[in-house]
């Protein structure tokens, strides 16, 4: 059981950051005297230090974190100094700026977890890339593939999910500070400076936009996370089915299973079910966010404050999911014998048989399909098409084709099928190696982006610190 802190607890560090950047800007533009700014900055740093040391924390007696910090600053410095901090801004742009900084950090965090999952999947895909697995469509056996091919398919999805997080950054990494209540201010503020000190790409170009659409960066992220969660739910559902007694293809580790309050033998795939549950959860939260925006009038509307609570719930519930799934995947036991056993059953090799019949005998595919369909029927009760059935079917279809018993058997053999899988993106040994290489290349780029984002934040904080030091030293 967990107690949830107020949403604003997550904003504490960001509110301090924004306050410091704003104070520096007010001083550098001459809107407030440098001496006052220096006092304010010292006050903010004192609060920051107290929070870091645990002496001060979020106080739920205040309306919100913004009020708390300004009030505590006022307690320390008096209104004649602290009362200048809120010059040329509104709580509207302050909240939106805090939230963007928070969202940006959460994006980095989630990117990190997702990269970790792709790494796990690619490593496993490589290890099992030639291990036969009964590929499904419609929950029925379709064609032989490899277990590595399935895992690579999962990696491929998540790589796209990480791209969506990058796109978020492209759309929303602009600074709302200075939008004020929605219509700007008459003070000669320098929005480019605060944008730089906060690590943004630049200021918003219309002060109304971001405030009216306070739900939108949240919805963009909620959508990206929801698609990720649906993908993870597919991985989870697949693993859960493979782990049923009937499938028996994998066994989850004890670490990622739980027992029952009543049934002594139970070993439940709880973490996978939880991922499915959170996939459902994320859908609804996205819906709430979009609905917040529907039919909203221009300017700030209080309704949109719920975007804050909703997106924080999404992050808390969903962010760790890729890491959990990595753990499940890394610790599970894979029963290749069972997987392979099913690769010789229920006529799963019929498609390759048909393709090879068409390829070697020059039979039109549609004729080859009719032949093999008949052969399947004539092999009823067996696991694969027999030579006799094939012979009978060919004859009945007036196909003047001679096929050896060896060929009929070979083309339905799992390892042969894998060796014949020549198409790009398929489970053939060369093809899957190339695919994995491609995905590693993608992942490398994404890792570079991930580090660049972290560095950028550090650069902004260092730039801010240098400005702060300058002001503290009495410079302007």
Residues 137-166 interacting with its own copies (rule: CB under 8 A): 137-145, 149-150, 152-153, 155-157, 160, 163-164
The DSSP H or E segment spanning 360 is helix 350-361
Residue 22 engages its own copies in binding (rule: CB under 8 A):
no
* C-beta atoms surrounding 335 within 10 Å: 15
Residue 391 engages its own copies in binding (rule: CB under 8 A):
no
- Tokens 């008949």 map to which residue? 374
Work out how close the CB of 253 gets to its own copies at its nearest, in angstroms, rounded to a whole number: 15
SS3 266: coil
Residue 398 engages its own copies in binding (rule: CB under 8 A):
no
Q: Can you tell me which of 13, 116, 320, 426 binds its own copies, judged by CB under 8 A?
A: 426
User: Between 295 and 381, whose beta carbon lies closer to its own copies?
Assistant: 295
User: Between 30 and 475, whose beta carbon lies closer to its own copies?
Assistant: 30
The DSSP H or E segment spanning 133 is strand 132-137
Residue 279 engages its own copies in binding (rule: CB under 8 A):
yes
Residue 98 engages its own copies in binding (rule: CB under 8 A):
no
Catalytic residue among 139, 182, 257, 260: 260
Residue 373 engages its own copies in binding (rule: CB under 8 A):
yes
The DSSP H or E segment spanning 405 is helix 405-410
Residue 42 engages its own copies in binding (rule: CB under 8 A):
no
Work out how close the CB of 458 gets to its own copies at its nearest, in angstroms, rounded to a whole number: 26
Which part of the chain contacts its own copies (CB under 8 A), choosing from 12-20, 44-52, 134-142, 450-458? Answer: 134-142
Q: Name the residue among 412, 308, 277, 309 with its Cα closest to residue 357.
A: 412
Angle at 439 between CA 124 and CA 133, to 5 degrees: 40
- Tokens 């290890």 map to which residue? 127
Please state, in angstroms and rounded to a whole number, the distance separating the CA atoms of residues 31 and 28. 8
Quick check: is 335 catalytic?
A: no
* C-beta atoms surrounding 79 within 10 Å: 10
Q: Can you tell me which of 15, 48, 98, 204 binds its own copies, judged by CB under 8 A?
A: 204
- Listed in sequence order, the residues at least 6 apart from 101 whose beta carbon sits closer than 8 Å to its beta carbon are 14, 17, 18, 198, 199
Work out how close the CB of 407 gets to its own copies at its nearest, in angstroms, rounded to a whole number: 13
Work out how close the CB of 356 gets to its own copies at its nearest, in angstroms, rounded to a whole number: 7
SS3 122: helix
Residue 58 engages its own copies in binding (rule: CB under 8 A):
yes
Quick check: is 146 catalytic?
A: no
Which part of the chain contacts its own copies (CB under 8 A), choosing from 15-23, 348-356, 398-406, 443-451? Answer: 348-356
Which part of the chain contacts its own copies (CB under 8 A), choosing from 110-118, 240-248, 450-458, 465-473? Answer: 240-248
- Tokens 């201010």 map to which residue? 185
The DSSP H or E segment spanning 158 is helix 147-172
User: Between 294 and 473, whose beta carbon lies closer to its own copies?
Assistant: 294
Residue 281 engages its own copies in binding (rule: CB under 8 A):
yes
Residue 184 engages its own copies in binding (rule: CB under 8 A):
yes
User: Between 433 and 461, whose beta carbon lies closer to its own copies?
Assistant: 433
Q: What CA–CA distances, in Å, run from 162 to 221, 231, 237, 455? A: 11, 12, 21, 18
Q: Can you tell me which of 49, 345, 388, 455 binds its own copies, judged by CB under 8 A?
A: 345
Q: Can you tell me which of 54, 188, 381, 474 binds its own copies, judged by CB under 8 A?
A: 188
Catalytic residue among 138, 186, 261, 423: 138
DSSP 168-209: HHHHH-SB-TT-TTTT--SS---HHHHHHHTT-SSB-S-HHH
Q: What CA–CA distances, in Å, run from 88 to 47, 77, 362, 378, 390? A: 22, 20, 79, 84, 84
Active site residues: 138, 260
């Amino acid at each position: 059981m967990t107690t949830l802190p107020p949403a604003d607890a997550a904003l504490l560090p960001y509110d301090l950051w924004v306050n410091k950047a704003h104070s520096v800007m007010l001083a550098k533009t001459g809107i407030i005297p440098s001496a006052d700014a220096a006092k304010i900055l010292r006050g903010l740093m004192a609060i920051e230090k107290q929070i870091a040391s645990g002496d001060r924390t979020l106080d739920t007696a205040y309306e919100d974190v913004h009020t708390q910090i300004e009030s505590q600053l006022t307690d320390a410095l008096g209104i004649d100094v602290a009362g200048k901090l809120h010059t040329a801004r509104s709580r509207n742009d302050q909240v939106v700026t805090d939230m963007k900084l928070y969202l940006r950090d959460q994006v980095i965090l989630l990117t990190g977890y997702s990269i970790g999952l792709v790494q796990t999947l690619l490593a496993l895909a490589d290890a099992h890339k030639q291990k036969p697995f009964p590929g499904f469509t419609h929950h029925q056996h379709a064609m032989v593939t490899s277990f590595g091919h399935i895992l690579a398919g999962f990696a491929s999805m998540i790589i796209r999910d990480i791209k969506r997080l990058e796109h978020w950054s492209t759309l929303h990494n602009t600074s709302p500070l200075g939008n004020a209540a929605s219509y700007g201010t008459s003070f000669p503020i320098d929005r480019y400076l605060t944008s730089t000190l906060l690590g943004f790409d630049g200021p918003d170009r219309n002060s109304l936009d971001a405030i009216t659409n306070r739900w939108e960066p949240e919805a963009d992220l909620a959508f990206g996370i929801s698609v990720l969660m649906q993908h993870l739910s597919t991985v989870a559902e697949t693993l859960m089915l493979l782990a049923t007694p009937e499938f028996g293809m994998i066994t989850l580790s004890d670490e990622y299973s739980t027992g029952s309050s009543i049934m002594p033998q139970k070993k439940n795939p709880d973490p996978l079910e939880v991922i499915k549950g959170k996939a459902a959860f994320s859908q609804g939260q996205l819906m709430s966010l979009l609905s917040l925006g529907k039919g909203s009038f221009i300017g700030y509307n209080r309704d949109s404050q719920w975007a804050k609570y909703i997106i924080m719930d999404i992050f808390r519930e969903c962010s760790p999911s890729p890491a959990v799934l990595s753990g499940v995947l890394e610790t599970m036991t894979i029963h290749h014998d069972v997987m392979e056993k099913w690769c010789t059953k229920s006529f799963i090799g019929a498609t390759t048989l048909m393709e090879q019949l068409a390829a070697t005998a020059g039979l039109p595919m549609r004729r080859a399909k009719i032949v093999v369909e008949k052969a399947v029927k004539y092999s009823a009760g067996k696991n694969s098409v027999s030579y006799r059935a094939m012979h009978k079917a060919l004859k009945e279809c007036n196909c003047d084709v001679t096929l050896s018993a060896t060929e009929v058997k070979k083309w339905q053999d799992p390892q042969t099928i894998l060796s014949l899988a020549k198409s790009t993106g398929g489970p053939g040994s060369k093809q899957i190696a190339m695919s994995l290489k491609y995905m590693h290349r993608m992942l490398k780029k994404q890792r570079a982006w991930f580090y660049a984002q972290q560095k950028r934040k550090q650069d902004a904080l260092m730039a801010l610190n240098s400005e702060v030091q300058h002001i503290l030293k009495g410079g302007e």
